[in-house]
Structure 1
């Protein structure tokens, strides 16, 4: 208990800072008692959830199997129990605010989801550090938890914000909750394995979640008139001028031209070719720099595998915006639908091959898949000249 109390303020600091920023984004702020009360509810909800997870793991005798990367038992536990339970209790913590009169703006969905998740993550992180010996890998693991929990919850928070008037969650909320739960399970599995390769694979997924949360928050602010951020932040973000969700939906649907189906397999082949080229260049460059790529297979949890794994991961991710740009330009399409579908086909093909050859690599690739798809769509957007 003493270790938990010592770690709790440290683990609470990132979530408090994030919630403070999100709370101060809108020009009209919600009452502090509602926002920070939801944060406290998230903290309280974390205790029974974590205790239930630990109790089930001990009762079924699988505690020593939960840190096995790509292990069937570990995957079933996080996907069918741990992640759904944690996302459900975070929704429960945000529910009183959702049903209250203070929840009157679309952005409030992200605000209160962030509050509940930040409180939950602070207790979960403190309990984890109190139970395990402190090491660099454990600190990184807990930091990923502290950052990713609010980002994941902002997905279903977006769905709650869209129904702020009716106070009745729709199928959109359920789908976003399921997506958040699936990504949560993937991140929890990667971080629980305490593997260098798994931790590195979790980083781009967290970065992608941050971009998605920022994008969703920006869309809600613009849609419902709350567009003012803090002055220095607003100028920086405004200069980027990223597309809105509505603009991306229009780009995916295209205009009056039919779907260019023949460009889907051609685009998938283009993506595969660009991927092979970038990986080949990465391996050649890595060998010139003296990197040992065999360390990835030889010592999965060793830091010696970090540099070559990062290089290979970056080379694969770089291929997707490049191929998306090339397909959009070559097909002369009016939207990003064809490049997006071709990237999806290429990703599925890679996942199938990895599933047949190396289940561990499949789990790592699944973490990169959403980021790769988003990068392909971004490259196609640039290729359209918008």
Structure 2
């Protein structure tokens, strides 16, 4: 059992550590990052209940649409809500890259408990693929969410802030939906998911750099 728990938790902690250590401007308090991670863990339970109700009580006509809505829309929406209400207006959210840190923390908290459930039911044989695909996927969707949350908070104009907040929700939902669709629509999913994940990592690293560049300008423009 300890091996299963270790295999389930390690990928999330490793990926979160990577993005946290990339914050070279004003690193966030470990306590707040940990709290965000735990919020993501707790979020699994209401999401699972809602998904169970939707799956068993709603009369879905299209299996692909049902899967995408229950997974991509529900999961990304609730993660976004947690970040917005728990962190977005917090005093420690004081530079654009912080959005990435907190969104990745919530996303990986969610992915880690979800991963633990999968490994308990299916064994550690799938741990490697779970780390590469679902756990990494949640983190990368979180990068997109956090990037636009960071830009939204420091937009300087209400209308621009609203537009970026909308993007911070819709883009992760779209990417998550595409991720699900790859698995559900073709038996050759491996040949599509590999370039898709590589593209997500490439874009995520670009967004990390852009958030840092934007953060540097934000910090230097503050009154001393």
Tell me which of the two structures has the higher relative contact order, counting C-alpha pairs closer than 8 angstroms and 6 or more residues apart: 2
CA deviation after TM superposition for structure 1 residue 211, in Å = 0.8
Q: What is the distance in 2 between the residues matched to 1:37 and 1:145?
A: 22
Indicate the residue corresponding to 1:332 in structure 2: none
- Matches of 2:88 and 2:16, distance apart in 1: 17
Larger Rg: 1
Map of 2:202 onto structure 1: 211
Residues 37 and 105 in structure 2, CA contact (< 8 A), matched pair in contact too: yes
Q: CA deviation at 1:25?
A: 1.7
Offset from partner CA, 1:311-345 (integer Å, 9 cap, x none): xxxxxxxxxxxxxxxxxxxxxxxxxxxxxxxxxxx
Per-residue CA shift, 1:236-256, capped at 9, x if unaligned? Answer: xxxxxxxxxxxxxxxxxxxxx
Aligned residue in 1 for 2:12: 15
Q: Does 1:43 align with 2:33?
A: no
Name the structure 2 match of 1:150: 139
Are 1:29 and 2:53 matched, yes or no? no
Instruction: Give the drift of 1:48.
Output: 1.6
**What are the equivalent positions in structure 2 for 1:1-386 lying under 5 Å apart?**
7-27=4-24, 28-60=26-58, 73-95=62-84, 96-131=86-121, 133-134=122-123, 140-141=129-130, 143-165=132-154, 169-191=161-183, 197-225=188-216
Measure, in 2, the Cα distance between the counterparts of 1:221 and 1:162. 11
Is the contact made by 1:151 and 1:209 (CA closer than 8 Å) also made in structure 2?
Answer: yes
Contact 2:104 2:140 in 1 (8 A): yes
Structure that is richer in helix per residue: 2
Deviation, structure 1 residue 122? 0.6
How does the TM-score come out when normalised to structure 2?
Answer: 0.82
CA contact (8 A) 2:141 2:175 kept: yes
Take 1:59 and 1:141, find their aligned partners in 2: how far apart are those partners? 29
> 5+ residue gaps in structure 1?
63-71, 227-386
Q: Secondary structure at the match of 1:105?
A: coil
In the alignment, is the contact (CA less than 8 A) between 1:79 and 1:182 conserved in 2? no
Shift of residue 112 of structure 1? Answer: 0.6
Note if contact 1:129-1:142 (Cα within 8 Å) is conserved in structure 2: no
Displacement of 1:46 after TM fit? 1.6
Kindly tell me: are residues 105 and 167 of structure 1, through their superposed partners in 2, closer, same or farther at Cα, counting changes over 3 Å?
farther
**Alpha-carbon contact 2:68-2:177 (below 8 Å) kept:** yes
Give me the whole-angstrom Cα distance separating, in 2, the residues matched to 1:82 and 1:116: 16
Q: C-alpha separation between the residues in 1 aligned to 2:183 and 2:3?
A: 23
Alignment CA distance shift 1:90-1:167 (3 Å): farther
Note the C-alpha offset of 1:126: 1.7
Q: Is the 8 A contact 2:103 2:142 kept in 1?
A: yes
Determine the C-alpha separation between the residues in 2 that align with 1:167 and 1:7. Answer: 48
Distance of 1:223 and 1:38 partners within structure 2: 23
Task: After TM superposition, give the deviation of residue 141 of structure 1 in Å.
Answer: 4.7
Distance in 1 (alpha carbons) for counterparts of 2:162 and 2:59: 38
* Secondary structure, counterpart of 1:26 in structure 2: coil
Conserved? CA contact 2:38–2:106, under 8 Å: yes
- Higher mean alpha-carbon deviation, 42-51 vs 31-40, is at 42-51
Q: Give, in whole Å, the separation in 1 of the partners of 2:180 and 2:108.
A: 16
CA RMSD of aligned residues (A): 2.8
